[in-house]
Amino acid sequence: MERLEYRFTGGRVLHPLAARLVGVVGSGNLEVLIESAALDGGCTVEINTAAEGFGAIWNAVVADFFARHSLGDVRISINDNGATPAIVSLRLDQAAEEFTGTVPGSATAL
Amino acid sequence: MTARPALARTWNEGARDRARRMERAASRLEGRLLGKVVAAADIVALLESVIAPGDRVCLEGNNQKQADFLAHALTRVDPRVVNDLHMVQSVLALPEHLDVFESGIATRLDFSFSGPQAGRLAKLVGDGRIAIGAIHTYLELFGRYFVDLTPRVSLVAAQAADREGNLYTGPNTEDTPVIAEATAFKGGIVIAQVNEIVERVPRVDIPGDWIGYVVQSPQPHFIEPLFTRDPAQISEIQVLMAMMAIKGIYAEYGVQRLNHGIGFDTAAIELLLPTFAESLGLRGRICKHWALNPHPALIPAIEAGFVETVHSFGSELGMEDYIAARSDVFFTGPDGSLRSNRAFCQTAGHYACDMFIGSTLQIDLGGNSSTATLGRISGFGGAPNMGSDARGRRHASPAWLKAGTEAADAARGVMPRGRKLVVQMVETFREHMQPAFVERLDAWTLAESARMALPPVMIYGDDVTHILTEEGIANLLLCRSDEERAQAIRGVAGYTQVGLARDHQMVERLRARGVIRRAEDLGIDKRMATRDLLAARSIKDLVRASGGLYKPPQQFRNW
């Protein structure tokens, strides 16, 4: 297992929201946990992956995710279970949308 | 001086030789030959009598039906009597198909597809045990059966025979007619293994006078349900890609006649016809006529009234009763069962379809695609026939004309001409993070290591019109230069190295021109891409959709 961690700053800080878990728990499917955390306005993404040596790809995937959603004081944990970048991006978007109750580009909630 | 005929040339040596071989068989089998019927116990003796060293031999290996009893018998002939054979067969599916090369019974090979045996084939080629003439498409190999690769002896499989040798193939007719015709009419000998010998066959698929010998196999021939895909394994990304295919290509061009490659990507499209395509009002406007095996994923679209006709290369296990009950859709005989025919269906797919869509393993920046990987010589099968522009086509259809117009506008062509839509559909990464987009195809290295004349490219880039990934659709018809084409491909190549190296400004310009279209450009909400959109989410759902007529093979039953 490889553990990768990325940190982004400058996102919009949300009031604490209920944590969300997206993916089918215990099914071997990809899981994404998204939760509020006091991170000085930062956003961290932690990826646990069985496939080693793909740090640059995951960096690009989560940087694009941050550009789309721009979240602050949020911690995201991904257990990739061998998922491809396409499915990880899709799940991250679903997690962010469920967490904030919004779709990127639509009116900001809260 | 008057012209005099050349001395001593006989002009019917083939027919004489056939007669000699059959006399040899009759004398070796003494009184045991009952007309054309040979006992299973005598099969090796028969093969040793009628096959001579150096012969071209076709051992019927289809995609599904296998002449497995005869394949096994051929491995048991004495290599001192029968050797150095030149095998000319479409598919290498069984271990026996390669065993004959290990013992020296055969040394040369011309073929089309070797999926299940690809690794072992590469090894035998590397060891110098097999000299490959060429890897063909199906139609190409069948064509050569009538030109320079005509079999001397063919070993075929059928469901039943009568004592005259008339064959009933059942639904998996597949390659049998083309093999038997090429062999029987050129002085060759056709030997058929059958599951049963009957008084009267339900229908005559191969006339008895083409057949030299019939043997009842102790076991029914093997058939593999090669084209069945369990909807339970279709991913949300495949649903998303299927939505883009339907809205961005099928609806856009009004594709009514088509072939689908095999796989979960295309199964997802079939299962979205009754739901997503229906919601777009596309029933009756797309997907009416198919060149396709009768695989179960099509059942919901047939039941929903999308599909008018289906002609098939082969059949699919478990679909027999459903096909018999839907003779308006499928090509069936008076006995109710499917009549498939690989040669005719490949012709239909090449000339009479407006679109091919299928998956691949690797695509380069020229749009060339290949399923070749190092250490595996897997061949092509029919994909290059389906997935290429039919340059000899002359009849017009709206989809063909629209694609041709787009290509001509980009090239500023003067003579109007249509184009076949050839769509490659891939997720940017396969399992184990293998990128589908590469700078250089593995096919180059494979060609070098196996000393092939050419890299084994399945579909050439100049035949591909669209590349569809989870990131969007690249319409290569609209590209005006090689550079635009390469950037259009990079622009849908996701997080692969090829995709990350894109020129972002150029990709945005291509997007503004509609060369690249994202899900949102097509008005597709990614959040809609869930498995709930599939008309069937399991094999059991397919059984239900068929009204209980589909009988899935055991390995697909999980209830």
pLDDT at residue B486 above 70? yes
B282-285 CB contacts, 8 Å cutoff, 24+ apart: B282/B246, B282/B250, B282/B251, B285/B251, B285/B254, B285/B256
pLDDT at residue A109 above 50? no
Q: Which residues of B touch A87 (CB under 8 A)?
A: 235-237
CA distance B556 to B539: 7
Confidence (pLDDT) at B36: 97
pLDDT at residue A104 above 70? no
B433 touches chain A (CB under 8 A): yes
Distance of CA B317 to the CA centre of its chain: 16
B470 touches chain A (CB under 8 A): yes
Q: ipTM value of the model?
A: 0.85
Degrees, nearest 5: CA angle B313-B369-B472: 100
Q: Which two tokens mark B416?
A: 């109007």
CA distance B14 to B9: 13
Which of A54, A86, A97 has its CB closest to that of B427? A86
CA distance B482 to B216: 58
* Residue extents of the structural domains in chain A: 2-100
* Chain A residues with at least one Cβ partner in B under 8 Å: 51, 54, 56-57, 60-61, 82, 84-87, 90, 93-94, 97, 103
B495 touches chain A (CB under 8 A): yes
**Stronger pLDDT, A91 or B255, i.e. the higher one:** B255
pTM of the model: 0.94
Mutation target for A interface from B433, B490, B532: give the one with most A CBs within 10 A. B433
Q: What is the CA radius of gyration of chain A?
A: 13
B432 touches chain A (CB under 8 A): yes
Span B22-58, pLDDT tens digits: 999 999 998 899 999 999 999 999 999 999 999 999 9
Nearest residue on chain B to A82, judged by CA atoms? B432
Q: Which residues of B touch A57 (CB under 8 A)?
A: 433, 495, 500
Please state which CATH number belongs to domain A2-100.
Answer: 3.30.230
B500 touches chain A (CB under 8 A): yes
Q: Which two tokens mark B391?
A: 């340059």
Nearest residue on chain B to A102, judged by CA atoms? B527
Q: Which residues of B touch A86 (CB under 8 A)?
A: 237, 427-429, 469-471, 494
CB-CB under 8 Å, A84 with B430: yes
Confidence (pLDDT) at A106: 38
pLDDT at residue B347 above 80? yes
B175 touches chain A (CB under 8 A): no
To the nearest whole percent, how much of chain B has pLDDT over 70?
99
CB-CB under 8 Å, B432 with A85: no
pLDDT at residue B494 above 50? yes
CB-CB under 8 Å, B237 with A90: yes
How many CB pairs (< 8 A) connect A and B? 45
Confidence (pLDDT) at A108: 35
Mean pLDDT of chain B: 95
Which of A51, A90, A94 has its CB closest to that of B433? A51
Confidence (pLDDT) at B435: 95
